[in-house]
Chains A and B, each alone.
Chain A
Amino acid sequence: MAVVFQKPKSLTDKELHYCPGCPHGIIHRLVAEAIDTLGIEGRTIGVAPVGCAVMAYDYFSCDMVEAAHGRAPAVATGLKRSIPGNVVFTYQGDGDLASIGMAETVHAATRNENITIIFVNNAIYGMTGGQMAPTSLPGQITQTSPYGRNLETQGYPIRVCEMLSALDAPYYIERVAVNNVKNVLKAKKAVERAFRNQIEGKGFSLIEVVSACPTNWGLTPRKALEWVDERMIPYYPLGVYRDKDAGIGCTPLSMQTFKKEG
């Protein structure tokens, strides 16, 4: 019988620990498919975050490093500077990347560090059981915003792609979603592009994946995907925020692309 569908080679046989209906599985798959397509598994190093994806080091069959909370872009910088011929990616959640690790994120971006960042935004801290994230929506009820996120006392959600594309340096920034087939296909292209940018030595690429957390949102998996369309995407519009090749979202200075070793 012909094989028509199989697990990407760069995923291990380890069973994923994610909750039923969690899109992390899809996003892992997209990363693995990109690695397979580009034939780079043997020279790729992944950096796992702290958060739901903390055990990603068991799931990808390339070499992996587990970083401290939020520090993945700094760890990835060390890795890439040490072995520039290798491909280095981080896989981070919203608390990791946009809260405790914001400094590391911004500075890796402004150095146009030649790494690939997969940023999973589900507007909540999943691993610890549903606390407010830097990307939790206005009024969103979480364990630490039980009366809804109060913009006056708890601040506004951070739009990472918009913020980073104000910098001159970063090469490629795109926001995608994985809540329906059409969006998954777009996300697949974006993730692959982010890896290809690095191989071509173009520089910093960040793909924000608007995700869902049925467990901590208190919704069924199907309802959670609908909530992505109804609530998340209006606040976090999908699209390309920076593409130096296409001249999208560029600042006057940002067209000076710093060529780095791929």
Chain B
Amino acid sequence: MSEKVLMKGNEAIAEAALRAGCLHYFGYPITPQTELTAYMAKRLPKTEGGVFLQAESEISAINMVYGVASTGKRVMTSSSSPGVSLKQEGISYLAGSDLPAVIVNVQRGGPGLGGIQPSQSDYFQATKGGGHGDYHLIVLTPSSVQEMADLTSLAFDLADKYRTPAMLLADGTMGQMMEPVELPEPHTSAVDKPWAVTGTQMKRKHNIINSLYLSPEVLEKTNFERYERYAAIERDEVRYESYMMDDAEYCIVAFGIAARVAKNAITAMRKEGMKVGLLRPITVWPFPKDAVHEAAQKVKGFVSVELSMGQMIEDVRLAENCLRPVVLCNRAGGMIPGVDQIVEVTKALMTSVEGGAR
């Protein structure tokens, strides 16, 4: 067991990436994720084989990632919302060329330049595509500094396993807060990458990293094949936390910082005798559809707590399939829903459901 250290979330991501054998990092400064870039700038030049480069733009950074990923090595870039928008072209190409890589988004409020306070308003962008074309990213959402480290580690493993880019979808709170963290043990990729471009050494036919298929029949085939992999991810890689759901009559769905506040709200409501539980998606793609659907058989209603104008709530509704009412409890623009607000919204839902039943 490693010892516990006190770290900022952004730094925990960086350290976990290094321990996952990621020796290549390309970034561009943006608040509130800059500590991650700075950590890599300090560590990678002192690490054997390490490459840190501050790119001229987020667009260049993601394309440098594309270059390293083509060689089969572990590679990462990070940014915050406006910068992640710029990376979308490159992310689509990574997905289209089936390249593993890890992209970190420490979200801030938007749209446009928005603000620098925490947000979850890039949920659609992260889970529904973001760039052009049919593709998904594996999207992991940490809710503690410990998970910033653990899920970074997992993101590299899953990206390699399924030959797909993976995203760590954090927020400004997670990036900036300090907590004790037990760092993951160093490990590297266990996956063989015969597709990588490292030179033919005149021993094999050339490898080509490419997303262009001018024949629609062939392009269609690559899409269908990729979606077979996505189906396997949806089957095997869904992760979520179920908290006080055994006897729950109402279910809060929340991830990241919102889930932490929700747990406090649940403690407060339980003291008042209200049976409320939490489903906390850890993967938001794949979304824990079955868990929500199963909960819908037992609970009387759902509250989706989000730092956005209501994005994940669409996935909650799709999963519970109109069985129960789903209400939104949200703040936006860098604001965080408080315990009081969550309690109030949950109580209002109870009144509307049970008042109607009486």
Residues of chain A at the chain B interface (Cβ within 8 Å): 12, 41-45, 47, 54-55, 57-58, 60-68, 71, 74-83, 86, 103-104, 106-107
Q: List 13 A-B contacts (CB under 8 A).
A: A42-B199, A47-B67, A57-B208, A60-B206, A64-B208, A66-B208, A67-B93, A77-B67, A78-B63, A78-B65, A78-B75, A86-B199, A104-B60
Total contacts A-B at CB 8 Å:
132
Residue contact B202 to A42, C-beta cutoff 8 Å: yes
| Minimum Cβ distance to chain B for residue A152 (Å) | 29
B210 near A57: Cβ-Cβ < 8 Å = yes
B1 to chain A, nearest CB (A): 33
Question: Closest chain A residue to B23 by CB distance?
Answer: A82
State whether A104 touches B66 (Cβ < 8 A): no
Complex CA gap A80/B67 in Å reads 8
Sample of 15 more A-B contacts, CB < 8 Å, known A77-B64, A104-B63: A54-B212, A57-B208, A62-B200, A63-B197, A65-B67, A65-B70, A66-B208, A71-B63, A74-B60, A75-B67, A78-B65, A78-B70, A79-B68, A82-B73, A107-B60
Q: Which of A60, A66, A74 touches B64 (beta carbons < 8 Å)?
A: A74
Residue of A nearest to B55 (CB): A74
Query: Contact at B63–A82, with CB atoms within 8 Å?
Result: no
Across the interface, which residues of B come within 8 angstroms of A62, CB to CB?
199-200, 206
Contact B67 A103 (CB under 8 A): no
Inside 8 A of B75's CB, which chain A residues have their CB? 78, 82
Taking the complex as formed, is B26 at the interface, i.e. its CB lies under 8 A from any CB of chain A? Answer: yes
**Residues of chain A lying within 8 A (CB to CB) of residue B66:** 65, 67-68, 71, 74-75, 78
Q: Which residues of B contact A55 (CB under 8 A)?
A: 212
The distance in angstroms between the C-alpha atoms of A65 and B63, with both chains bound, is 12
Per-position contact with A for B168-179: 1 when CB-CB < 8 Å, else 0?
A: 000000000000
Instruction: State the 8 A-B residue pairs at the shortest beta-carbon distance, nearest first.
Output: A78-B67, A74-B63, A63-B197, A78-B64, A43-B199, A107-B56, A71-B63, A66-B210
Q: Which residues of A contact B93 (CB under 8 A)?
A: 67-68
Residue B211 CB within 8 A of the other chain: yes
Indicate whether A63 sits within 8 Å of B211 (C-beta atoms), given known contacts A75-B64, A78-B24, A86-B199. Answer: no
Interface residues of B in 24-76 (CB under 8 A from A): 24, 26, 51, 53, 55-57, 59-61, 63-71, 73, 75
CB-CB under 8 A for A63 and B51, given A68-B63, A74-B67, A81-B24: no
Contact residues in A for B198 (Cβ distance below 8 Å): 45, 63, 83, 86
Q: How far is the CB of A55 from chain B (nearest CB, A)?
A: 8
Q: Chain A: interface secondary structure? A: helix
Are A68's CB and B90's CB within 8 A? yes
Chain A residue numbers with a CB within 8 Å of B69 are 78
Which B residues lie within 8 Å of A103 (CB)?
A: 56-57, 59-60
Residues of chain B contacted by A82 (CB below 8 angstroms)? 24, 51, 67-68, 71, 73, 75
Establish whether residues B197 and A45, one from each chain, have CB atoms under 8 Å apart when the complex forms: yes
B51: nearest chain-A partner, CB-CB: A81
Task: Give the CA-CA distance A77 to B71 in the complex, in Å.
Answer: 12
**Is B60 touching A63 in the complex (CB atoms < 8 A)?**
no
Nearest B residue (CB) for A50 = B212
Contact among B51, B61, B200 for A41, CB-based, below 8 A: B200
Least distance between B91 CB and chain A CB atoms (Å): 11
**Residue ID in chain B nearest A68 by CB atoms:** B93
Give, as a whole number of angstroms, the nearest-CB distance from B39 to chain A: 19
A14 to chain B, nearest CB (A): 11
- Chain A residues positioned under 8 Å from B202 (CB to CB): 41-42
Say yes or no: B208 contacts A63, CB within 8 Å.
Answer: yes
A129 to chain B, nearest CB (A): 16
Partner of A66, one of B53, B200, B209: B209
Known: A64-B208, A71-B63, A86-B198. A79 touches B55 (CB 8 A): no
Alpha-carbon distance A83/B73, docked complex (angstroms): 10
Looking at the assembled complex, report how far the CB atom of A53 sits from the nearest CB atom of chain B, in whole angstroms: 12
Residues of A within 8 A of B206 (CB): 12, 60-64
CB distance from B33 to the nearest CB of A (A): 20
B215 at the interface (CB under 8 A from A): no
Interface residues of B in 172-199 (CB under 8 A from A): 197-199
On chain A, the residues within 8 Å of B57 by CB distance are: 103
Hey, which chain A residues are within 8 Å of B200, CB to CB? Answer: 41-42, 61-63
Q: How far is the CA of A214 from the CA of B66 in the complex (A)?
A: 34
Given known A44-B199, A60-B206, A64-B206, contact A81–B68 (CB-CB < 8 A): yes
Residues of B within 8 A of A47 (CB): 67
In the complex, the chain A residue whose C-beta lies closest to that of B66 is A75
Q: Which of B26, B53, B59, B63 has the most CB of A within 10 A?
A: B63
Chain B: which residue is nearest A40 at the CB level? B199
Given the complex of chains A and B, what is the CA–CA distance between A67 and B199 in angstroms? 17
A46: min CB distance to chain B, Å = 9
Give the complex CA separation of A75 and B26 in angstroms.
12
Closest to A78 in B: B67
**Contact across chains for B63 and A67 when beta carbons are under 8 A apart:** yes
Residue on A with the closest CB to B52?
Answer: A81
Q: CA separation between A68 and B63, bound complex, in Å?
A: 8
A74 / chain B contacts, CB cutoff of 8 Å = 55, 59-61, 63-64, 66-67
Contact A65 B60 (CB under 8 A): no
